[in-house]
Structure 1
Amino acid sequence: MNETPRILLVDDDELTLEMLKATLEGEFQPESVVSGEAAVQRCQEQSYALVLLDVDMPGMDGYETCRQLKALPGGDQLPVIFHSARLHVDERLRGYEVGGEDYLPKPFDPPELLAKIRRVLAIRERQREMAGQLDEVMNAVLVSADMVGEAGVVLEFQRQLSRCTDTDALARALHESLQRYNLDGCIRLRSARGETSTNIKGPCTALEQSILDHLQAQTEGACIQPLGPHTGFSYGSVVLFVRNLRMSREGMDRAESERMGRAIDNVALLIEGAVAKMAALESAMTARDLADVRHLVSMTTEALTDIAKRNQAQLGEVRTLFEELKQQIEDSFLHLGLTQSQEEHLAYIVRTHMESVMTVLGKSSEIEHFLSRIITKLKQHV
């Protein structure tokens, strides 16, 4: 049986702590402290599944607390959700820079709080499961980085594109190429069928999602823009946020400035290749959809032709049976001793029912004509 996750609440407001505890109790084991210093001390003594951290506190604020928590042994695996009334994108960027996973506004909404905690814990569990695979990938990336130069990374990425058959493979190839440049970030790939946002470990955190949303909303077409000491690339179908890639050259020596400039140019080349591949994947999927429609139209046409032939044969068989029935009845008149009027009435009944049956069966031809018109229209559009 799984142990109930223990969550550390950090806030200098006692009322807020009581409200948070009341919300979390039952599903989680909440514990609380009233300062950043106490939070760091407690995490040195105890292990927690997650820390819910207030930003505005006297003494050590939430950002510095998060930095110190992440610096503890194993602290990089401890998820932190910030809790603050500061909602500007600059505040979310600060939270992202110190390693936060999400940002919860004050006053908090209980269902939203529970949903965010569940999502962060689920992502962290998935990351732990993928840790072994990630180590292998990282080792392979580091070996490849030693073998190829900056231009070689772009060329290798272009070769990898031919083996990318879907957006997941394309995202992995982009992340691996960034790693060869010793860069890290999050990527969003957008198509008519939806979008996917990932970091090197798996799905983006909520905080990364909000930064990608900001990049996507602020630009149209191809654009590269600074976000503090980081850089955002928005190229329509590909949106990329790269950490610690500075567009500003202030305070850099010439060599570092040139290295940063080349890195931005190379990342832009990677994205341009990814954009072209996204267009190719979209065209391929559209072509497959069109081929499926054409195949369906062809099968429907064949089925309709077969139905028409069967209906015509059935009509002929029914007509023949009624003619034989009519003939047999007329031949039996000699032995039944019926009057002339009785014979005519009986013949009339048979003839009337035959015409009714043939009319009903003939209505199937109206359905055939209707389906035929639909098939014709479909053929005109494919």
Structure 2
Amino acid sequence: MAEGQKILVVDDDELMRTMVIESIGDTYRITDVGSGEACLDAAAGDRPEVILLDVEMPGMDGYETCRRLKADFDLAAIPVIFVSAHDEIEARLRGYEAGADDYIVKPLDFRELQAKIFGLLNRLSERAQLREMASYASQTAMTAMSSMSEVGSLLQTLQAFNSCTSYQELTEKTIAGIAAYGLEGAVQVRTPEGPLTRASRGDATPLEASVIGHMSGMERIVQYRNRLSITYPNVSLLISNMPLEDADRCGRLRDHLAVLAESADVRAATLIAEARTHRRGERIAAAVQRITRTLNDIDHEQRHTRVATGMAVQDFTTRLERAYVGLSLTEAQEEFIAGVCSEGIAKILDAQMAESSQQDKMTAIIHELEGMLAL
């Protein structure tokens, strides 16, 4: 316990005040007065840790003085030890009813007085520590509850990101996540089609869009007074009203907003990749359609050529047979010419058979491509 704590001694007997000062003056800093009125003034002017208050004084007695002390909001917490020549239970009860904390009987045993003062100050110190601990526990509990609420809001926002199917929806969910913390600002999602910027009030002003656009080249997290910027490759946040008056909350929000921005950036990257995959698929499908049409055209043309070739061979054979009659050829000549023609026709037919096999393979490829387009 710290030395030099203030004790106010109130007694109309100057000798009694002197004796008290001599007995405890080395341990405590003593102020002494001789009346109840002076006690009230001294207590208000130089707030003591304990008041030793005589009961029987002319004018305002100790009971009335104690009642007035306890009725004063600023002085009510000062503990009072009554000093009285009366040891009857009625006198003690009157003291407790007036609001005193302890009672000591004259003639004083100064060792008892020292013990009572020490015990009283010790209890006051313990109470103060308990109040401080309770206050700290309450503040810690409130902080924990606030932090849990903030984390809950963050988790809800992250879950909402998972269902976003467009850049517009992602910006709206991000603004809603910011608003859940009571904050205002703007968010920009940079897409292959250009940046999409939205503010808490709706569409971002040209100035807001310009400022947040330039943030892409800044450090990851930058705070200037109550403004906070968080930048990731695809997403930037600009907060305009960080709660600087609450440093703890400000720090927590900065951490939560960094996680929020990073998660939004991951979702934006996913949407960009999905869009690229979709466009690539569309280009592949278009190419497959063009190839299928071309192969179909080739297939029809080749089939038409085969039919035309067959008809031409048949016509050639008929005309050759007619020519034999008009040319008056010998039997040997006819056989020679017939052999040459038969050999040529056989080669044409063999070529057509090979072409037919390739044609069947091409037809199978066409059917496979058509099946892919139908998926």
TM-score of the pair, normalised by structure 1: 0.43
> Which of the two has higher C-alpha Rg?
2
